[in-house]
Amino acid sequence: MTEPAPLTGSRYHGGTIGIPSLTINNVGATDDGTYTCYIYNGVGQASVDINLFTWNTPSVSLYGKQNLAVGSVVVLQCRVTSKPNVTHITWKKETVPINFSDKTKYQRFGSLQNQKLKIFDAQETDKGTYSCDAYNDYDTGTSTVEINVGGITKTTILNEFYVTKVGEDITLECLIKNDSTNVNLSWLKDELNVKLYNTRKYSHGTLKQPSLIINNVDKSDAGNYTCKLKNLFGTSEDVVELKVLSK
């Protein structure tokens, strides 16, 4: 009988008369299969089959918008790769399993490899750490995301319109709450960004100094001005009209 070709390669050790046990280094999924140990003597041979099955801890990635405006809807997406396939997924908030009996608050949908959690009508009580735990027959993988819920900072222009004359300076007042969640503030004229870098014409109009000063007004400055504020949770804006009269 022809002797089977032995395993070769730097990852295999042993499997000899002196060291009959076979060691496989850096085992991977491609090593799955049936291994046969043969022994020969002058009379005959004997063999035994050994099945090797490899597994890994589920790899879990959790995605989703992390800064939510009060009242909004968020979808968290949990992607899983696993060997063997996962048997079930558990969603948690602050380590406590989410109760899906109230479908007006939480819903989940999708597959075990790509499952989504939908949270309705986000409130500040929904702030916290959410986790997706994926289980296979051997181990558990998890991923977390921090959700922050807050309000959109309001912008307020007190005047309904401003009136000025050619050649004068004017301040368009925009009131905002100084809040750590504020990201940036901009001004628009007739829906186009005001060129604040033109410091001879404009000053202020920033987060630190939100009111916009227009220097040496001319007729072309007439129009609708928008004070637009973006914070972590959304955007707020207010509009005012500037009328310019001749001298």
Domain boundaries, the chain: 12-52, 56-150, 155-245
Residues contacting residue 220 through CB under 8 Å, at least 6 positions apart? none
pLDDT of residue 184: 96
Q: What is the pLDDT of residue 1?
A: 52
pLDDT in tens, 189-244: 999 999 998 989 999 999 999 999 999 999 999 999 999 999 999 999 999 999 99
Q: What mean pLDDT, rounded, does the chain reach?
A: 94
For residue 242, give Cα distances in angstroms to 163, 189, 211.
Answer: 6, 10, 14
- In Å, how far from its chain's centre is CA 178? 26
- From CA 76, how far away is CA 93, in angstroms rounded? 12
Residues 6+ apart with CB under 8 A from 193: 186, 187
Q: Are 187 and 205 in contact (CB under 8 A)?
A: yes
Asked whether the domain spanning 155-245 has the same topology as the one spanning 56-150, the reply is: yes
Please write the tens of the pLDDT for every residue from 94-126.
999 999 998 999 999 999 999 999 999 999 999
In 3-state terms, what secondary structure has residue 52? strand
Question: What is the CATH code of the structural domain delimited by 155-245?
Answer: 2.60.40.10
pLDDT-derived band at 6 (thresholds 50, 70, 90) equals confident
Q: Distance between alpha carbon 216 and the CA centroid of its chain, in Å?
A: 46
The class that CATH gives domain 56-150 is mainly beta
